[in-house]
Amino acid sequence: MKLTLNKIVDSKVYKSKKGMLIQGNSIELLQNNKELSKLKGKVNLIITSPPFPLNNKKQYGNEKGEEYKDWFIKLAPIFSDLLADDGSLVIEIGNAWEPERPVQSLLHLECLLGMVKHPEANLRLIQEFICYNPSKLPSPAQWVTVNRLRTVDSYTHVWWISKNDFPKADNSKVLRPYSKSMEKLLKRQSYNSGKRPSEHQISEKGFLKDNGGSIAHNFFEMEAIDEKRDVRLPHSVLSFSNTNSNDYFLKTCREKGITPHPARMSGGLVNFFIQFLTDEGDLVLDPFSGSNTTGYCTEKLNRKWVSFEVKEDYIEQARVRFSDPLLKSPLKKIKV
């Protein structure tokens, strides 16, 4: 699949070695631009963190309430058309709260149900993941820090969706390190087999093979819950959290006096799903890319990518991200 850049009209396009960032409304462009219709059925992974259904407008743009739900559900057939038959859609979304009430909204759940039940999309929820971040600021602030009626909302949902019961996936590519006790067991080559109180029958040799790590969980602990216990994230996730102040992108933003996008998707999360659900050379798309963490991670992992972003400020932040000398693949503006 090769796009003819001069046919992506009314848009600024920025290219790297592996992908392109298109400035504009992704949904309008994907629906109406004939050149972008070439993407249909070719995308192996759509991964994105769309604007959350918050009660207050944010600078990165977001709808509210029923308007948000209608907007979200209409994405279903658009995304389904883009996906290859064994492709995946991964969406990170936060919780919502009822306006001026200490009551959690069902809006995000209604969005999920509306998407997977859309009659024109043929989608289904493959698995839900939870991304826990103990460094998140206390929210909803009114009910946590002012009135002190609720606990901190400290996690986001990550939905893995596909139009096939068996999308491309390989959990052996995203193994997490073995625990210290498992490392000792493998070295010792013995353990207590037999029947457990749970009635599971543990075989004599079932846990003696070294597979290079243990199978990842669907819970991402971005920082340690217990400081005395090692966080065993998959190697692909590493410590790529939004609090990593030594990150090249954040360091350069500080030097240039740039305020980074306030709702950046975790690079570790993006790394995980790219490695879990795609192969080198596959195509990854992010329709709401912000500062383009998705494109950056995809480039480093040797996949092709297409990202969209409306705001000029965030396009410039993406260019900062791609100026990383270790990447050696700057985003260059193309005349179209």
pLDDT tens, residue by residue, 292-323: 999 999 999 999 999 999 999 999 999 999 99
Beta strands at 332-334 and 201-202: parallel, antiparallel or unpaired:
unpaired
Least confident of 60-64, 126-130, 141-145, 231-235: 60-64
Predicted confidence at residue 243, as pLDDT, reads 41
Quick check: 44 pLDDT over 60? Answer: yes
Task: Give the amino acid at 9.
Answer: V
Look at 131 and 58; give whichever has higher pLDDT: 131
Superfamily designation of domain 12-174+216-316+323-328: Vaccinia Virus protein VP39 (3.40.50.150)
| Tokens standing for residue 38 | 């070439």
Among the listed residues 120, 153, 127, 124, the one whose alpha carbon sits nearest the alpha carbon of residue 138: 153
How far apart (Å, rounded) are the C-alpha atoms in residues 103 and 98? 6
Alpha helix ranges (H) inside the chain: 26-32, 65-73, 75-82, 107-116, 141, 180-188, 248-256, 267-277, 293-300, 312-322
Cβ-in-10-Å burial (0-12, 13-18, 19+) of 203 comes to exposed
* In contact, 32 and 248? CB cutoff 8 Å: no
Tokens of 218: 């669907």
Closest CA to 51 of 20, 17, 93: 93
Give the start-to-end residue ranges of the domains of the chain: 12-174+216-316+323-328, 178-212
Position 278 confidence tier, pLDDT thresholds 50, 70, 90: very high
Tens of pLDDT, residues 85-127? 999 999 999 888 888 999 999 999 999 999 999 999 999 999 9
- CA dist 142 and 148 (Å) reads 8
| Spatial separation of the C-alpha atoms in residues 72 and 65, rounded to whole Å | 11
Summary mean pLDDT of the chain: 86
Which helix or strand (DSSP H or E) is residue 285 part of?
strand 283-286
Q: What is the pLDDT of residue 163?
A: 96
Task: Say which amino acid occupies 75.
Answer: L
Q: What is the pLDDT of residue 78?
A: 98
Percentage of the chain surpassing pLDDT 70? 83
What pLDDT sits at residue 242?
41
| Cα radius of gyration rounded to whole Å, the chain | 21
Q: Count, in order, helices (H) and strands (E) of the chain.
A: 10, 12
- Answer whether 45's CB lies under 8 Å from 277's CB: yes
Residue 62 CB: number of other CB atoms within 10 A?
18
- What is the percent of the chain where pLDDT is above 90? 58
| pLDDT at 220 > cutoff 90 | no
Q: Residue 58 above 60 pLDDT?
A: no
Higher pLDDT, 62 or 81: 81
Rounded Cα distance between 309 and 34, Å, is 19
- Note the pLDDT tens digit of each residue in 67-85: 899 999 999 999 999 999 9
